[in-house]
DNA sequence: ATTATTTGCCTAATACCCCTAGGAAATCTA
DNA sequence: TAGATTTCCTAGGGGTATTAGGCAAATAAT
């Protein structure tokens, strides 16, 4: 009997694809095993359990997003960088909704440490540097930025904006314009 | 044999409490049945299925938040209204994390119609009126507001801000200050 | 090339969870 | 109080997560 050639990496990769196809919450050990034409139990030699599998998908997504964002950021500064960075996330979410959802998974502290989370916040800070905000305003602004990007993309994907005719991409651009203005006029105190 | 006195409302109420205690994703028909000392099958006379139960919790949460927001908004305008409104959501999320998560559940169009979703966007618009933004800027601003509130609260709850010592409540206040500035200086075009 | 060893996948079994069908008892109605 | 209704139960089918233990295939050692 020929083997299926499973490895942890191939499982995670396939799970990520599955997530984009059917939704991250529907990614299950069984479904993944089915996709490989293999019994459920066979996956447990490569992956600790379902939680572990999901965390690995999350880390894959975080890494991919960090890579893309780093590329987008290269050679840009100021509003240019802000827009490029923001669009990276939004585009990734549209292209890979399952992976994006995975990236939202609350990671255990240890897993978070091993993830690309740090790179993300580094990049956030790099963008902010262009605006010359002193600490602690910088931290406040980073949190606002992260929240706005994430919230907008999440709500848009959930269809929360679909009741109003206005093109969501346009609102997104205006939101980025507004954020740029905000950062340039960050309130003192 | 005495009856447990189940009704759809009591089930939904209990499910909401359960969600706040153990997390919305862990709310299950079985767990709920256990809480009432009843067999799983008994719940199906009151609730169509697990999905239905979850949707009802979502609608309960949306309604509660709308009520609270409406109260908070009463008699306020401008930045005052903005802050009161935003704090309603954030406070609710902290007090009722499970319900807040439930409110994020993508509802089927029909369920969404019956929900308090419309009240929420009405209130968003009411706040914006104070800033005198013309359409379509108003729609763009609403989307930005909703995204920022939701994103910030979600990330904060997920612990995404806990690696930096700065108090998240302070960053939240500064974010609201910044939003106020943004709305007063909404970029033209 | 034959053993020995590791590794990959399987069978079997347990424990939950979701849900349907049909029955009996508690409660309401006439 | 007889009948109708509602509430909850038993039984049972199907899906997912996970562990334990076994055989066979790929790999390493002799």
In the block, tokens 């602690």 appear at A136
Instruction: Tell me whether residue B135 is exposed, middle or buried, using C-beta atoms within 10 angstroms of its C-beta: 0 to 12, 13 to 18, 19 or more.
Output: exposed
The band of B1, judged by pLDDT with boundaries at 50, 70 and 90, is: low
Output the CA angle A142-A144-A149, nearest 5 degrees: 95
Q: Does A93 have pLDDT greater than 90? A: yes
The band of A121, judged by pLDDT with boundaries at 50, 70 and 90, is: confident
Q: Compute the average pLDDT of residues B119-141.
A: 93
Size of interface A-B (CB pairs under 8 A): 137
Tens digits of per-residue pLDDT, B40-82? 999 999 999 999 999 999 999 999 999 999 999 999 999 999 9
Query: Residue B134 belongs to what H/E stretch?
Result: none
A25 CB neighbours strand C below 7 A = no
Hits for CB < 7 Å against strand C across B residues 30-59 = 30-31, 40-41, 44, 49-51
Q: Compute the CA torsion angle A167, A169, A171, A175 (nearest 10 deg).
A: 180
Q: Does A5 have pLDDT greater than 90? A: no
The one-character DSSP state at A115 is S
**Higher pLDDT residue, A114 or A59?**
A59
Q: Does B11 have pLDDT greater than 70? A: yes
B140/A166 Cβ within 8 A: yes
Nearest chain B Cα to A145, which residue? B148
Six token digits for residue B105: 């559940």
- The answer to whether B176 touches B84, Cβ cutoff 8 Å, is no
The band of B109, judged by pLDDT with boundaries at 50, 70 and 90, is: confident
pLDDT at position A39, please? 96
> CA of A20 to nearest chain B CA: how many angstroms apart?
17
Phi and psi (nearest 5°) for B187?
-65, 140
A140/B104 Cβ within 8 A: no
pLDDT at position A12, please? 97
Which of 25-64 (A) contact B at CB < 8 A?
A: none
Asked whether the bond before B110 is cis by omega within 30 degrees of 0, the reply is: no
pLDDT at position A106, please? 86
- CB distance from A184 to chain B under 8 Å? no
Q: Residue B35: how many CB atoms within 10 A of its CB?
A: 14
Domains in chain A, ordered, with CATH? 58-184 (1.10.357.10)
Q: Does A189 have pLDDT greater than 80? A: no
Rg (CA), chain B: 19
Q: Does B108 have pLDDT greater than 90? A: no
| B113 CA – D6 C1', rounded, Å | 30
- Residue B179 and residue A138: Cα distance in Å, rounded? 15
- The answer to whether A143 touches B171, Cβ cutoff 8 Å, is yes
In the block, tokens 């540097």 appear at A129
Q: Compute the average pLDDT of residues B153-178.
A: 95
- Residue B88 and residue B124: Cα distance in Å, rounded? 13
CB contact set of A108 (below 8 Å; sequence gap of 6+):
A55
Q: Compute the average pLDDT of residues A1-14.
A: 87
Give the closest of B152, B159, B182 to A143, CB-based: B152
Give the closest of B139, B166, B186 to A136, CB-based: B166
The band of A112, judged by pLDDT with boundaries at 50, 70 and 90, is: confident
pLDDT at position A1, please? 59
pLDDT at position B3, please? 72
CB contact set of B88 (below 8 Å; sequence gap of 6+):
B65, B68, B69, B72
B2: nearest nucleotide, CA–C1' criterion: C26
Name the H helices within B74-131.
78-95, 97-103, 109-114, 117-129
| B1 CA – D12 C1', rounded, Å | 24
- Residue B119 and residue A148: Cα distance in Å, rounded? 22
- Residue B75 and residue B70: Cα distance in Å, rounded? 10
B43: nearest nucleotide, CA–C1' criterion: D8
Q: Does B111 have pLDDT greater than 90? A: no
Which of 127-146 (A) contact B at CB < 8 A?
A: 136-137, 139-141, 143-144, 146
């Amino acid at each position: 009997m020929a083997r299926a050639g499973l490895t942890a990496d191939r499982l995670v990769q396939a799970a990520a694809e599955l997530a984009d196809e059917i939704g991250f919450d529907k990614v299950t050990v069984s479904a993944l095993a089915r996709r490989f034409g293999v019994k459920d139990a066979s996956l447990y030699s490569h992956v600790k359990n379902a939680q572990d599998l999901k965390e690995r998908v999350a880390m894959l997504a975080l890494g991919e997003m960090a890579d893309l964002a780093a590329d987008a950021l290269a050679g840009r500064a100021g509003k240019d960088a802000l827009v490029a960075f923001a669009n990276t996330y939004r585009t990734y979410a549209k292209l890979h909704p399952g992976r994006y959802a995975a990236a939202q998974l609350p990671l255990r502290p240890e897993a978070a440490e091993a993830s690309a989370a740090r790179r993300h916040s580094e990049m956030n800070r790099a963008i902010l540097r262009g605006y010359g905000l002193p600490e602690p305003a910088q931290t406040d602004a980073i949190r606002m930025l992260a929240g706005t990007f994430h919230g907008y993309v999440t709500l848009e994907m959930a269809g929360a904006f679909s009741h109003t005719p206005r093109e969501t991409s346009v609102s997104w651009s205006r939101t980025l314009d507004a954020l740029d203005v905000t950062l340039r006029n960050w309130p003192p105190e």
